């Protein structure tokens, strides 16, 4: 999702959005629901799902014009979502200040194996729920949609177990 906000508005949103705002939208009960959704969905396929929420970008990242997609790729790498036996890790990334949702899939379930429209469907389902203030429902809808894609595309190989934490991560 491309950020279309005026640069000054984007700066203010990022400067004044912190983890407190994220924790209000995603309290412990919602985080527990996300963990359970990931755990449950991963039992139906060999893929691995990581759910990450980032409150805002740092000023230097804003100054550089970093997009939510570029940041999602960086988080994918830093959290080593690519480091699974069958290259079937998927990152669901929410940049809260921009209201942006990105999905990054490893080469075992990306790079032409899955139609990008399928990932976009998951992103749009989440955005619709988030716009309505239904953060738990949005996160779970996104996880379930990603799990449906993984059940079709990551099931050729045997599941070797849980390779990544199921709990969501909140960054800054």
Exposure string for 73-86, b = 16+ CB within 10 A, e = fewer: eebbeebebbebeb
Kindly tell me the burial class for residue 95, based on how many C-beta atoms sit within 10 Å of its own C-beta (0-12, 13-18, 19 or more): buried
d(CA 104, CA 123): 11
Residue 156: its pLDDT value, please? 66
Domain ranges across the chain: 7-155+163-171
| Span 108-147, pLDDT tens digits | 887 678 888 999 999 999 999 999 999 999 999 999 999 9
| Span 69-98, pLDDT tens digits | 999 999 999 999 998 888 899 999 999 999
The CATH architecture of the domain made up of 7-155+163-171 is Roll (3.10)
- Mean pLDDT throughout 146-172? 84
Residue 168: its pLDDT value, please? 98
| Span 29-79, pLDDT tens digits | 999 999 999 999 988 888 899 999 999 999 999 999 999 999 999 999 999
């Amino acid at each position: 999702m491309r950020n279309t906000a005026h640069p000054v508005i984007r700066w203010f949103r990022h400067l004044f959005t912190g983890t407190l705002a994220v924790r209000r939208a995603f309290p412990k009960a919602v985080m527990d629901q996300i963990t359970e959704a990931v755990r449950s969905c991963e039992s139906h396929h060999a893929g691995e799902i990581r759910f990450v929420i980032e409150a805002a970008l740092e000023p230097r990242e804003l100054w550089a014009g970093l997009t939510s997609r570029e940041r999602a790729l960086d988080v994918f790498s830093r959290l080593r979502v690519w480091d699974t036996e069958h290259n079937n890790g998927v990152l669901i990334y929410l940049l809260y200040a921009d209201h942006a949702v990105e999905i990054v899939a490893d080469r075992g379930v990306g790079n032409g194996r899955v139609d990008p429209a399928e990932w976009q469907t998951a992103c749009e389902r989440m955005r619709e729920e988030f716009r309505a203030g239904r953060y738990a429902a949005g996160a779970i809808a996104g996880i379930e949609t990603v799990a449906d894609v993984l059940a079709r595309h990551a099931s050729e190989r045997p599941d070797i177990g849980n390779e990544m934490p199921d709990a969501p991560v909140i960054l800054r």
